[in-house]
Chains A and B, each alone.
Chain A
Amino acid sequence: MIGASHLALAGALAACVSGIGGFAYGTRIGVTQERAAQKRADDAADAVRRKLQGQIDASSQRAQAAEYARQSSVREIYHESQKVIERPVYRNVCIDADGVRLLDRSAAIANAEGVVQPSGTATAPAEGAAQ
């Protein structure tokens, strides 16, 4: 005999099952939506990162081109200076031997290379050009 209590119990059971099913369905939908939102955010961040990396790469290429041009200029100056420094003025006028000795001694002291030979007193101009 199926009574009213059995019908009520069956109804309550059906309500519980449908509630659990609804909860599971809602959870799955929520997880899907959350994953979709996360994927959209990741894609947007990735697009920004790729664009930024492209700009930085372009900037690096421009800088490398500028550096290449600068090195060419430096080489040009080096070759020109090799010709210019052959002039006697670069060996006679700049500084005499006593001054060079003093400068070398100062550099040695500055580099903590110990005491080198004292330069003595320069009483007269040096006889020759600095070597």
Chain B
Amino acid sequence: MDGADAVASLNALYDVAGQIRAMLIELQAQVRIASEADHAQSR
């Protein structure tokens, strides 16, 4: 293992972290849409 491997590993790690973050944000947005509609319906 050397610096090149470390760079590749960190890039892969950031890639997965970015996927997780993007999916989390999208799911939060969908939950917000659903909860806003639910609140509007209950009013």
Binds B, one of A7-15, A28-36, A78-86, A111-119: A78-86
Residues of A whose CB lies within 8 Å of any CB of B are 48, 51-52, 55-56, 59-60, 63, 66-67, 70, 74, 77-78, 81, 84-85, 89-91, 93-95, 100, 103-104, 129-131
Residues of B whose CB lies within 8 Å of any CB of A are 1-4, 6-8, 11, 14-15, 18-19, 22, 25-26, 29-30, 33-34, 37, 41
Residues of A contacting B29 with CB < 8 Å? 59, 63
List 13 extra interface pairs beyond A59-B30, A104-B1, CB under 8 A: A51-B37, A52-B33, A52-B37, A63-B25, A66-B22, A67-B22, A84-B7, A85-B7, A85-B8, A90-B4, A94-B2, A94-B6, A129-B2
A-B contacts, 30 of them at CB < 8 A, read A48-B41, A51-B37, A52-B33, A52-B37, A56-B30, A56-B34, A59-B29, A59-B33, A60-B30, A63-B22, A66-B22, A67-B19, A70-B18, A74-B11, A74-B15, A77-B11, A81-B8, A81-B11, A85-B3, A85-B4, A85-B7, A89-B3, A90-B2, A90-B3, A90-B7, A91-B2, A91-B4, A94-B3, A103-B1, A130-B1
